[in-house]
Structure 1
Amino acid sequence: MARSLAAWLDYLEQLHPVGIDMGLERVADVARRMQLLDHPIAPRVVTVAGTNGKGSTLAMMTAVAAAHGMRVGTYTSPHLVRYNERVTLLGNEASDEQLVAGFEQVEAARCRSPEISLTYFEAGTLCALWCLAQARLDIVFLEVGLGGRLDAVNIIDADVAIVTTIALDHANFLGTDLAQIGREKAGVFRSGRPAVLGSQCLPGSVADTARKLGAPLYELGSTFERSSVESELWQWQGENPDGQRLTLYNLPDPGLPLDNAATALQALMLAGCDLNAETTRQALGKVVLSGRMQWIGQWCLDVGHNPHAAAYLAKRLGAQANGRLWCVIGMLDDKDIEGVVAHLIPVVTDWICVGLSGPRGRSAQSLAVEIERQGGFVHGCAATPVLGAEGLKGKLMPEDRVLATGFFTVGELLAIDLPQATCAKPV
């Protein structure tokens, strides 16, 4: 009897003795059995690595490329609500049937003698690559998961590789040395193929790695740049592989970091997308990225879960200072809770701490201890994100805003109707 998608995902979670097992040998061996490395999965492939900004950069590349008539596919992880979100083909999530067919191909290949064990993420990556290769696309965007050099996505030789930002995250696996983290992320670069650096604050190890590999460097602030013209408009200037310059004026604010928008445009041009000014404007004006500065009524949902992301949120939300700013926060135990709270404390007035399930989940009460230690006012604690959100019913004023942060927190809240202001006076 054929497995359903849900049954496949349950099976794959139990397939390997550990959840994260860094290295490319096993996944590359199965990819070769699937013939995924015999030919490019698409005429153009762009890989996006980095600590923060991968999702927004990829979303803007997708929107602009599709607007220019390109057949686009993407692979991202993790998902917020449905596993199908991880693979998109021509703007649509992969169907259960497509993913099941992919997992069947992966399983058949890995079970050949000698059998090869794969992690959940490795199997999912191979399934995604198989689905993308079947779709006859013009361009594919691949988001690197953890790290870069040893991430399963890195079995693919991308035509253009991006590193967005470097900051501390996943310290248990990547350590706390930013230079070393930069070298790991820069492991997605390839000799003779463009390397795009999407931040002016990257450790020098990122550019050094590209130079040692002989990868042409395109750096934000030098090779390409962006500048604000008015509060809601900006301009971009970039360079094609032949050194020709292009400037696009009066671009709309996509509601996502402009450094990432500039990086997306530069990478697209290097991947062969002939950017048209008006088409680019229209595409950037319509970008929607679930869980990244996503507004639903009074709620801002953002998956940011490290200090770098929290600093960006504080800057954006602190500039809109009317009413109270609530924060519904739930985090995993291996994240830098202290650093995240430190950046948000100056702008958040009321905290709702929520617990997360699973062995890595941190309790609401322990979050509250850290927030109160830093001088924050904890309005309440709840066992789950949904219960935390429901606790705000009848408490919000029309001028209040609510930030919900953390990947699993946002994922659970996207599945419910979020409470909005109903009361005439504060509670």
Structure 2
Amino acid sequence: MPPVISELPQTVEDWLGYIESLHPKSIEMGLGRVQTVAARLQLQFPFIVITVGGTNGKGSSCAMLERIYHAAGYQVGCYTSPHLVHYQERVRFNAQVIADALLCQAFAAVEQARGDITLTYFEMGTLAALWAFEQQPLDVVILEVGLGGRLDAVNIVDADCAIVTNVDLDHMEFLGDTRELIGHEKAGIYRQPQIAICGDIAPPASLLAYAETLGVKLNRFGVDYQIDMTDTQHAHYRDAQGELDVGTLRLFGHYQWNNAANVIFAVRALQATLPVAEVQMLQALTATEVTGRFQYWQQAPDVILDVAHNPHAARALRDNLQRLAADGSQVIAVFSMLSDKDIASVVDILHAVIDTWHIAPIQHPRAASMDYLHASLSQKVPLAHIHRHTDLPTALQTAYKKAAKNDKIIVFGSFFTVAAILELTPDQWGA
């Protein structure tokens, strides 16, 4: 049974503490409970909805869409997860985080509607975000899928446009341990006759079959639209509507061009209901920045923050680091992961491009232990190149003091790893 409270919490911090206690599990797959509470809230979704799912690239894609529609003059809501420092980052109106008062009202509305139904932290937050969006006169809402797709709380909404960025191995304890099983779950956000987009260059057969069974016209990267690099910083996009020259992205990494291509196709496909001038779209696209996605946080020596936490993201990170290689420079990792992630595969992908590792525990119940992190590394990395620390700020401080001016320090492994650094001021870590 959910806890009984005599009065509702009054602050965001108190609400978050309370909703963490509502359900014995952090994740419970299924839509039944969420749909029931949504019906009690009388959610109508009176705006155009774009849903973004996939293994990686969801946050960047949502940020691109949010910036484009905001620049075009639309009233825009955006829901993403997880947050890095403050929960309010998850719910945004016109690129501004939700006000504490409205977020508390939203939590209270969901709490009163749920009755004796138990909701997870993510389900409670998703319903609160949707309720908050309906209190504002919005034109378009962008929703990031939390986990999987078919049974994710976000999937109670029938989106006008659904994007699956890519499919790879992550959350295998919930979604399955093959791309085919995971692809089936990701495809669950598609609807007929809404716009369906797949950004994976080689999608699993299960995703294609799911779309075919629904009778969905699946628009595929590499088939229905394409983006090609004209040089290292520019790209050429084309689809049935014509061609575009895309300027330089502020988001670093080749995979971000794939995300941009998915977004361009989506914006063009929605032109009848949400017209956007091409010049506005391209200006907003090339101006988009996202915290924690190969983000330069400090320079000379460079400190780069990246939330990469699965094999697909690790391969993208490896490619980025290889492009930064310079004679005489070292790549130094400040690294930690959650215990339920594929740490061995991430290390296997990245160990050849990282010279020294500084490891420390994440402050989270699911954090990998220091012994487990060390053991995972020691199979691939000489012991002399692994340094243990009591916490992540100390790990960064040590790495920074030892780094030469042209070295690269990459802080990665989890949203929680990056968050632990973002909360620091320069005097706290020695810059």
Q: Output the TM-score relative to the length of structure 2.
A: 0.92
| One-letter amino acid matched to 2:123 | E
Q: Do structure 1's residue 225 and structure 2's residue 226 form an aligned pair?
A: yes
Structure 1 unmatched runs, 5+: 240-244
Q: SS of 2:353's equivalent? A: coil
Of 44, 51, 54, the match for 1:50: 54
Structure 2 unmatched runs, 5+: 1-6
Query: Equivalents in 1 of 2:246, 2:377: separation in Å?
Result: 41
Residue 414 of structure 1 is matched in structure 2 by: 422
Q: 1:255-292: CA deviations, max 9, x gaps? A: 24110110011112222343433222321221110111
Residue 124 of structure 1 is matched in structure 2 by: 125
Select the structure that is richer in helix: 2
Residue 285 of structure 1 is matched in structure 2 by: 286
Residue 64 of structure 2 is matched in structure 1 by: 60
Query: Equivalents in 2 of 1:396, 1:185: separation in Å?
Result: 41
Residue 261 of structure 1 is matched in structure 2 by: 260
Query: Equivalents in 1 of 2:60, 2:186: separation in Å?
Result: 17
Residue 40 of structure 1 is matched in structure 2 by: 45
Residue 356 of structure 1 is matched in structure 2 by: 362
Q: Do structure 1's residue 328 and structure 2's residue 334 form an aligned pair?
A: yes
Q: 1:285-316: CA deviations, max 9, x gaps? A: 21110111111121111111001100000101
Q: Do structure 1's residue 246 and structure 2's residue 247 form an aligned pair?
A: no
Q: Counterparts of 1:127-276 in structure 2 under 5 Å?
A: 127-239=128-240, 245-256=241-252, 257-272=256-271, 273-276=274-277
Residue 95 of structure 1 is matched in structure 2 by: 99
Which moves more between the two structures, 26-35 or 351-360? Answer: 351-360
Residue 3 of structure 2 is matched in structure 1 by: none
Residue 393 of structure 2 is matched in structure 1 by: 386
Q: SS of 1:394's equivalent? A: helix
Q: Does the Cα contact within 8 Å between 2:338 and 2:366 map onto a contact in 1?
A: yes
Of 26, 33, 45, the match for 2:33: 26
CA separation of 1:250 and 1:164: change in aligned 2, threshold 3 A: closer
Query: Deviation at 1:134?
Result: 1.3
Query: Equivalents in 2 of 1:413, 1:356: separation in Å?
Result: 11
Q: SS of 1:191's equivalent? A: coil
| One-letter amino acid matched to 2:85 | V
Which moves more between the two structures, 178-187 or 363-372? Answer: 363-372
Q: 1:68-116: CA deviations, max 9, x gaps? A: 22221100111100000000001100011110000010011112xxx21
Q: 1:177-199: CA deviations, max 9, x gaps? A: 21111010100001111110012
Q: Does the Cα contact within 8 Å between 1:353 and 1:365 map onto a contact in 2?
A: no
Identical pairs, percent: 38
Of 71, 75, 79, the match for 2:79: 75
Query: Equivalents in 2 of 1:356, 1:214: separation in Å?
Result: 45
| RMSD of equivalent CA atoms | 1.8
Q: Output the TM-score relative to the length of structure 1.
A: 0.93
Query: Deviation at 1:419?
Result: 8.1
Query: Equivalents in 1 of 2:386, 2:183: separation in Å?
Result: 39
Query: Deviation at 1:421?
Result: 12
Query: Deviation at 1:119?
Result: 0.9
Query: Deviation at 1:206?
Result: 1.2
Q: Does the Cα contact within 8 Å between 2:332 and 2:399 map onto a contact in 1?
A: no
Q: Does the Cα contact within 8 Å between 1:398 and 1:422 map onto a contact in 2?
A: no
Query: Equivalents in 1 of 2:193, 2:351: separation in Å?
Result: 45
Query: Equivalents in 1 of 2:126, 2:223: separation in Å?
Result: 34
Q: SS of 1:279's equivalent? A: helix
Q: 1:35-70: CA deviations, max 9, x gaps? A: 01xx2241x100011111111111111112222222
Q: 1:147-189: CA deviations, max 9, x gaps? A: 1100000000000011111111111111202111101010000
CA separation of 1:291 and 1:168: change in aligned 2, threshold 3 A: same
Q: Does the Cα contact within 8 Å between 1:390 and 1:419 map onto a contact in 2?
A: no
Q: Does the Cα contact within 8 Å between 2:251 and 2:290 map onto a contact in 1?
A: no
CA separation of 1:263 and 1:290: change in aligned 2, threshold 3 A: same
Which moves more between the two structures, 351-360 or 127-136? Answer: 351-360
How many residues were matched structurally?
A: 412
Q: Do structure 1's residue 296 and structure 2's residue 297 form an aligned pair?
A: yes
Query: Equivalents in 1 of 2:339, 2:38: separation in Å?
Result: 34
Q: 1:226-266: CA deviations, max 9, x gaps? A: 11112211121234xxxxx1321142223241101100111
CA separation of 1:27 and 1:390: change in aligned 2, threshold 3 A: same
| One-letter amino acid matched to 1:302 | D
CA separation of 1:232 and 1:393: change in aligned 2, threshold 3 A: closer
Query: Equivalents in 2 of 1:32, 1:422: separation in Å?
Result: 52
Residue 4 of structure 2 is matched in structure 1 by: none
Q: Does the Cα contact within 8 Å between 1:332 and 1:361 map onto a contact in 2?
A: yes
Q: 1:338-364: CA deviations, max 9, x gaps? A: 110111111101101111233311123
Residue 348 of structure 2 is matched in structure 1 by: 342
Q: Does the Cα contact within 8 Å between 1:389 and 1:418 map onto a contact in 2?
A: no
Query: Equivalents in 1 of 2:404, 2:427: separation in Å?
Result: 11
Q: SS of 1:230's equivalent? A: coil
Query: Deviation at 1:390?
Result: 2.0
Q: Does the Cα contact within 8 Å between 2:394 and 2:429 map onto a contact in 1?
A: no
Q: Does the Cα contact within 8 Å between 1:49 and 1:162 map onto a contact in 2?
A: yes
